[in-house]
Amino acid sequence: MAAVHPVIAPEARADAVLDVRDLSIDFATPRGPVHALREVNLTVPRGSVVGVVGESGSGKTTLISAAMRLLPDNAELRGGAVLFEGEDVLRMSPQALRNLRGQRISMVFQDPMTALNPVLSIGQQMVDIQYRDRGLGRAAKKRKAAELLRRVGIPDPMQRLGNYPHEFSGGMRQRIAIAMALLGNPELLIADEPTTALDVTMEAQIIHLLRELQQDYQSSILFISHNLGLIAELCDYVVILYAGTVVEQGTVRDVFHRPQHPYTEALLVCDPALLQDVTRELPTIPGDVPDLVNLPRGCIFAERCPRVFERCRAEDPATRWVSAGHAARCHLASPLERS
């Protein structure tokens, strides 16, 4: 894990690869606008791994779609910016966007077949991805592809370049998808639940691989997951999303060992030791996620919060810094004494 320093604090945003600022996105629906993201702030500091965790419908996919500007047609930007290397993705030229996607930002999906073409050999696909690199001949591109396959743990990589995706196991395919994502030396890798489709052993191997690659290449990774154990294992920082709002964020150590938001506490069931278990999925918390069309007044978590009090139903809490780089959106959050 990288050294603990107050990176998500505003003054440290200068060296962020990705800096999402006050992002609010609605989706137009016949029932009225779905307020999918509201004033979301998060930063991916250069060379770090940031985990985003949240229940289904909390806005994870909307967030990464905004980062790539791949939002569906009914999405409406209500406010904010997505700064990638200081430039707002939501206002980039078409040319800049083409360079961004798949080149400066790469994605690894839950299903590796999303990234792989079933009717082309792996080698062909990996050479094709390097089309921008005009200075490199085909043989050199193949060597580069084989080198990355070797790095992600595919034996006999030069021979295996001739194989098609169906000739590999699910875990191998995900390794290949990761190799392909790294081919263009992206500044940011977004991994959207990359191990959900795999069994527990494969999952652990892929997480281990991502960690090694992150260290070797000093990559910056935005890692989306339902799995708290995996976030604890892989990430430097964690962002907890609830119903389209960031309710808590900070270093994994701070957030998991000293959670300040009742939702985070409920997720951890006050037992960070459980995080040693990498199979640990999000626990079920009693109650329902609020309707994002008719948002409640006051705190978004009030209906399910065991600590709710009168003010919570009247007033939406502001985000408060509880220590350097650790913030929570709750009326009860207050600066911590460091122990």
Ligand X SMILES: Nc1ncnc2c1ncn2[C@@H]1O[C@H](COP(=O)(O)OP(=O)(O)OP(=O)(O)O)[C@@H](O)[C@H]1O
Contacts with Mg ion by CB under 5 A lie at 60-61
* 314 phi/psi in degrees, rounded to 5: -105, -30
- Rank residues 289 and 312 by Cβ distance to ligand SF4 and give the closer one: 312
Taking the complex as a whole, the smallest distance from the CB of residue 330 to ligand SF4 amounts, in Å, to 3
- Where b means 16+ CB within 10 Å and e means fewer, 77-115 reads bbebbbbbeeeebbebeeeeeeebebebbbbbbebbeeb
Q: Could you say which of ligand X, Mg ion, ligand SF4, none residue 151 binds, taking C-beta under 5 to 8 angstroms by partner kind?
A: none
The interface partner of residue 102, options being ligand X, ligand SF4, Mg ion, none and the CB cut-off 5 to 8 Å by kind, is none
Binding partner of residue 29 among ligand SF4, ligand X, Mg ion, none, CB under 5 to 8 Å per kind? ligand X
| Residues in 128-167 that interact with ligand SF4 by CB under 6 A | none
Instruction: Answer yes or no whether residue 230 interacts with ligand X by CB under 6 A.
Output: no
Are 181 and 190 within 8 A, CB to CB?
A: no
Site for ligand SF4 contains 252 (CB under 6 A) = no
Verify binding: residue 114, ligand X, rule CB under 6 A: no
What crossing angle do the helices spanning 122-129 and 170-182 adopt, rounded to 10°?
20
CB of 59 to ligand SF4, least distance (A): 17
- Counted residue by residue, the chain has a size of 339
Among 41, 43, 48, 58, binds ligand X (CB under 6 A): 58
Within 300-329, the residues that bind ligand SF4 by CB under 6 A are: 301-302, 305, 307-308, 312, 317
In the list 10, 15, 22, 29, the residue contacting ligand X (rule: CB under 6 A) is 29
How far apart are the two ends of the chain, measured CA to CA in Å?
21
The token duo for 286 is: 């009693």
> Residue 163, class by beta-carbon neighbours within 10 Å (0-12 exposed, 13-18 middle, 19+ buried)?
middle
Residue 175 interacts with, from Mg ion, ligand SF4, ligand X, none (CB under 5-8 Å by kind) = none
Residue (166 or 311) nearer to ligand SF4, CB: 311
333's CB contacts (< 8 A; 6+ apart) are 260, 261, 317, 320, 322, 327
Applying CB under 6 A, what is the total number of residues that bind ligand SF4?
13
The least CB distance from residue 318 to ligand SF4, in Å, is: 10
Identify the residue among 17, 18, 19, 27 touching ligand X (CB under 6 A): 27
State the nearest-atom distance from the C-beta of 325 to ligand X, in Å. Answer: 24
Instruction: Find the angle CA(210)-CA(214)-CA(219) to the nearest 5 degrees.
Output: 130
3-state secondary structure 7-47: CCCHHHHHHEEEEEEEEEEEECCCCCCEEEEEEEEEEEECC
Contact between 61 and ligand X by CB under 6 A: the answer reads: yes
Q: Which option in ligand X, ligand SF4, Mg ion, none does residue 307 bind, with CB closer than 5 to 8 A by kind?
A: ligand SF4
The answer to whether 7 and 239 have CB atoms below 8 angstroms apart is: no
| Burial grade of 74 (CB within 10 A; 0-12, 13-18, 19 or more) | exposed
**Among ligand X, ligand SF4, Mg ion, none, residue 204 binds (CB under 5-8 Å by kind):** none
CA atoms of 121 and 160, how far apart (whole Å):
9
Q: What is the DSSP letter of 105?
A: E
Residues that bind ligand X (CB under 6 A): 27, 29, 34, 36, 54, 56-62, 72, 74, 292
Residues that bind ligand SF4 (CB under 6 A): 261-262, 299, 301-302, 305, 307-308, 312, 317, 330-332
